[in-house]
Amino acid sequence: MATIIDENLFLELSEVKVASQDLTLAVDQHNFLPEDFPNAQFLLLSKSLCGLNDGSLEGARLPLEHAAVRLSEIRRRFFLHSTGAVQEDEAEFYIPSLERGDALDLRFSSLLSAISTALDAYREQARNEYQSLNTQENIEILPWFHETRCRHTKCSQWDTKD
């Protein structure tokens, strides 16, 4: 049974979509990316995140979790902590790198934050759905089960004094 995404999760997934589109545009326009930057994989992740608000509750969790792990890994691996200014004698051999805190890194951070918030909204809705399904009314969908089990186990509810 597919559960419809509630308004809160829809809004969070819409924010993920916008952040993902912004990051994709920034990556496409960036002047320098390392040769081994996983651009194709990044584009697939981004595309998968853009359609989540059109899906179901159950379909949102895995893509969000996978994207959170993979994007964090890309950020950790390719965005270096700044070591300061390049020395004159190193300037000739300097290869530009992606650095923490630059514009592209901030877009990565923004998307990761949106994903984290969307996962929190997912967990809240999933918890509420679970709690609403486990009411006494829903537990007693099969009342004959309780009746049959109690008769065989000599439940006090079925004890009769003849």
- Which amino acid does the sequence have at 126? A
Which spans in the chain are helix H? 7-29, 39-50, 57-78, 88-91, 103-133, 136-139, 143-153
10 vs 131: which has the higher pLDDT: 10
Confidence band of 162 (pLDDT split at 50, 70, 90)? very low
143 vs 23: which has the higher pLDDT: 23
As a whole number of angstroms, the distance between CA 51 and CA 40 comes to 18
Mean pLDDT taken over the chain:
80
Which of these, 13, 27, 116, 17, lies nearest to 74 by C-alpha position?
A: 27
- Which amino acid does the sequence have at 42? F
Two tokens at 95? 């290869």
Two tokens at 96? 């530009």
As a whole number of angstroms, the distance between CA 103 and CA 17 comes to 18
Q: For residue range 59-103, what is the model confidence (pLDDT) as tens digits?
A: 999 999 999 999 999 999 999 887 655 455 555 555 557 888 899
What is the Rg, in whole angstroms, of the alpha carbon atoms belonging to the chain? Answer: 26
Model pTM? 0.73
What backbone phi and psi angles, to 5 degrees, belong to 50? -70, -20
Confidence band of 131 (pLDDT split at 50, 70, 90)? low
Residue 154, phi-psi category: left (phi > 0), alpha (psi -120 to 50), beta (remainder) = left
Kindly state the average pLDDT of the residues 141-160. Answer: 51
